Every structure is written in structure tokens, then in C-alpha cells.
Amino acid sequence: MTREIRRDPHLDTVVHIVADRQHRPNLPSTNCPFCVGGLEAPEPYEVRAFPNRWPALQPGYCEVVLYTPEHDATFASIGAHGIRRVVDLWTERTVALRALPDGEYVIVFENRGAEIGATISHPHGQIYAFDHVPSRQQRQLDARWSPELASGDREVLEYNGWKVWTEFASVHPVSLRIAPLEQVADLPSMTDAQRSDLAEVLARVFGAFDTLFDVPAPYMMWLNQSPRTSGNWPQAWFNIEIVSPWRATGVPRYIAAVEVASEEYFNPVDPADVAQRLRIALT
């Protein structure tokens, strides 16, 4: 047995057993497969999406997204213009993956840094299409999530109808949320202007984020969108989450046994302090 979806009979936790991924090869430090001429990018490109050779879900439902051909670039360094190309590709692939028979919920995400588990440093993200709405996104939909209008000292930025703030009850030392102030369900529903403004916000946020520590910090980013059957979810409100495990330069905040056991967390960093540091970096 190499693949099976299991649900814990007591806690209702969903686990994908993907034992075949244990045999993924360790990639060499040279000959990056994402650089132009490499295994996954044989031709010149600006942005590129392709099927993951080692999918966690069924083949065709997991893709890799390359942000830039520049190996040493970052999401911040490609600027708003480069990020807009990425946003457009995210949108295109969201539409395409939703069109698959089992493409009910599309999650765009990125893992940056070896501490997070990224095996290739070339700037890239991924997209998974699930055949169901994952439980975390389901809870957000059920709660009728909407942006915090009164985030106070946790507000980081407001720009052209977009808002950025640090989370009130953040599990991670750094936990940011980005959302439009007017409800929009997903990437395909956005206007051209909204996508451009989102790109500008992401450029500013990541520019500030990369100054939080002495070196670029590891992070995880993901996009919460409406399910494919968006007509059944009128409350869906697009948003982006960005979290980092670092509580200081090179010092991760580990999730301890009591936290896993109790599902109650102890964050040593005040979200308002993170917001203040980001606001200073943005000035």
C-alpha cells in the first residue's frame, strides 16, 4: 500500500498516507531543476507551472509554480510587476484545476526555507486541488470569516482596499493576514485592478518581512479561497496567511508536547510587537 486517505475514528483528523513520496530523490545542490535549461524548465520563461513529479494527491492535482527564472531572487525582490505575473498564473491554474473532476478546493501555497522543508531554494510555490473542502477552510467558511476592521496596534498596512494585520490569537511567532476590505470570493473573481493592488501589497509586505531578522526568514504562505461550488458559499472571503516559526534570528519556536496534546498554544511573541516592527520597516 502506497496511498490511502485515512480519517482518525476518534478525532476525525484526515491523514493522507503517501508512502511512495518517501522514495523521492535528494536533489543535488548544483544544476537547479527550476533554472532555465534545467529539468523542469527546458525553455526560457517568466513564470511557469507544471505537474509535480511527486504529487501528494492524485497525479495531475499537484502543481509547482515558478515565480522567476532568477535563482537567487525572493518574492520581494521580483517586485510588484513580477508578483502580478505570479498572481495571474495562480488565477489561471486555479481555474484549470477546478475544472478537473475532483478539483473541489484549490490551495495555493509556498514553503520557504530548509527549516520549513523546502528542498529547492529557487523561488517557487505549489498548488494542490483537493476533492473536498479541507477542515480548516471549512471552519473558516462556517465562521463566516471577514477581515478585522479594528485590528488596532496589530494593523500593518492598508492600501487601495487591501488590509494587512497580525493575527489576534496567533499560534506562530509571526502570523500575518492579508485580505480585501470588500468581499471577493477568490482569485478568478478579482478585477484587474484588485490583482495589481494585491501584487503591490505582497511586494510591500514581503519587503518588510525580509527585514524582520538579520537574514531571510523561513515562512509558509497559503491562500484561502472559495470552493469550486462557490454559489453554495456566499460568505467566502478571499484571504492570505503568512506565518514564520522564527521567534528570533535563527531561533525557531517549536510546538511542544503539551500544545499538541491540548491543542492550546503558548506564543512567546506579542503580535502587536511584530506589527510595529513591520510598520517601521514599511516607512
Which residues are known catalytic residues?
124
Q: How wide is the angle at C-alpha 63 spanned by C-alphas 62 and 67, nearest 5°? A: 150
Number of other residues whose CB lies within 10 A of the CB of residue 115: 15
Answer whether 240's CB lies under 8 Å from 224's CB: yes
> CB within 8 A of 218, min separation 6: which ones?
111, 112, 113, 114, 115, 116, 118, 244, 245, 246
Cell of 168: 489576534
Runs of H (alpha helix) within the chain? 79-98, 135-142, 192-209, 257-262, 271-282
d(CA 149, CA 214): 32
Q: Where are the alpha helices (DSSP H) in 210-243?
A: none
Assess contact for 181 and 161: CB atoms under 8 A.
Answer: yes
d(CA 131, CA 118): 25
